Structure 1
Amino acid sequence: MELFIKRFENRPVDSNCFLIFNEQNTAVVIDPGTQDHTELYEFIAKENLKVEYCIITHGHFDHVYGIEDIVSRYDPKCVLSNESLAYIGNIKKNLSVFYGKQFSYQLQNYIAVCEDGYTINWDGHDLEFYHTKGHTDSCISCKINNDVFVGDLMIKGEKTVTKLPSGNKGMAEKSINTMLNLAGIEIIYGGHGEPMTKMEAKKFFFNEN
């Protein structure tokens, strides 16, 4: 069954929100970083989609700011790390206070990813989750078929930011290596900017051809 991927730009911070949907009209939202994201909601309504899952790659404000809206509108199961749960509920950890916001939210309907390789079957497609710490200790990545959604672990043309609280350069390098060596990976979708191929990522992050 074919999957469709549509990228939306989050605001006020320019980051990526992804909507993945299938021919059965069920959908997954990744990193809803915009409150009242009209463009996203209108597209979901136009395509008559049922949002079943919401994936949070990490707990920073620019990737979670719209989660309360998503939950109130669609009541999906949210998938994230235990660390991200704590970030979402803390204005300093999620960095919203540094953007002049006071965003915090307590999730109720969630699945905490506790082990690498944790898998959810979504209408015949496996959502595989991995802890990919480095940008923060809250980071997870999700592999779907030949694609992997990595949040801010890998951004096309940019070195991974590890200077924010709980960032770790060595762990980031280890996590990147793990993701690029997953079987079948072809396209990497980062938390900002355009997607990149596995070859592009290997060349940029490890100088491999």
Structure 2
Amino acid sequence: MKIASLTFNPIEENTYVVWDDTREAVVIDAGNSSPREDAALDNFIAEHDLKPVLAVNTHGHFDHTLGVEHVKQRYGIPFALSSKDQFLLDNASTSGSVFGVKIGAMPRAEIDLDATPEIRFGTTTLKVIPTPGHTPGHVALYDPASKALFTGDTLFRESIGRTDLPGGDYSWIMRSILDRLLPLGEEVRIYPGHGPESTIGHELLYNPFVVEVLNREVDPN
């Protein structure tokens, strides 16, 4: 499996294009928000002779969904998102205005990740792992073969996603990290929604939110 990261929009969100030897691809968290960014994504796909078959999102915050409608229309593909995050699409204009970001058409999800245990494209299978906390419907996407984990805004390099936005919950996000992500193994590589890549092993040592809970300095419940 091959992975490319393109950073888009004023919130500097990581959009991932993921493909395998069949050239079938998925676009994870399409955050492209302008004609220039749309072109950058389209040119990358064309230059690598890829065939997108699905747009899939870890969660529904506007900075991760700004480019989904473009991808859907450009490539004629469906969109997958947890139905628990539909309210975030419905309120995207209000959320965007708080950050000074103009919001265009929000996509409609054809595939509910709450009822979809895995995403398949080409010869690749991404497991859908529910990780509520940053949002109620947040998921991570995991490829066991390459040990690649797309964590969205749940787990960052040496940080975690904020939980003070509507639908956020600190105890949920910590339980998601401790119970569902860390057990995947120290060698697993993390591809987050913002910032640089990391590994589970690195986060076990250097993520202050994880370390303080594991050392029982803070109760996640």
Per the normalisation by structure 1, the TM-score is: 0.89
Q: Which moved more, 1:65-74 or 1:158-167?
A: 158-167
Q: Is the 8 A contact 1:152 1:191 kept in 2?
A: yes
Q: CA deviation at 1:84?
A: 2.6
- Secondary structure of the equivalent of 1:121? strand
Aligned twin of 1:97: 97
Q: CA deviation at 1:143?
A: 0.7
Q: CA deviation at 1:138?
A: 2.7
- Name the CA shift for 1:103/1:97 in 2 (closer, same or farther; >3 Å): farther
Measured against aligned partners, the alpha-carbon deviations of 1:46-70 in whole angstroms (never above 9, x if no partner) come to 1111101111111111111111111
Aligned twin of 1:15: 13
Q: Is the 8 A contact 1:187 1:198 kept in 2?
A: yes
Q: CA deviation at 1:157?
A: 2.2
Measured against aligned partners, the alpha-carbon deviations of 1:14-65 in whole angstroms (never above 9, x if no partner) come to 1100111111111111111112322111010111111011111111111111
- Secondary structure of the equivalent of 2:184? coil
Q: Is the 8 A contact 1:27 1:52 kept in 2?
A: yes
| Mapping 1:1-209, distance limit 5 Å | 3-35=1-33, 36=35, 37=37, 38-91=39-92, 95-100=95-100, 101-107=102-108, 110-115=110-115, 118-145=117-144, 146-177=147-178, 178-182=180-184, 186-203=188-205, 204=207, 205-207=209-211
Distance in 2, matches of 1:200 and 1:7, equals: 20
- Secondary structure of the equivalent of 1:193? coil
Distance in 2, matches of 1:192 and 1:160, equals: 9
Percent of pairs with identical residues? 28
Distance in 1, matches of 2:119 and 2:9, equals: 29
- Name the CA shift for 1:184/1:199 in 2 (closer, same or farther; >3 Å): closer
Q: CA deviation at 1:129?
A: 0.5
- Name the CA shift for 1:102/1:206 in 2 (closer, same or farther; >3 Å): closer
| Aligned-residue CA RMSD (Å) | 2.1
Unpaired runs of 5+ residues, structure 1, are none
Distance in 1, matches of 2:11 and 2:160, equals: 19
Q: CA deviation at 1:13?
A: 1.7
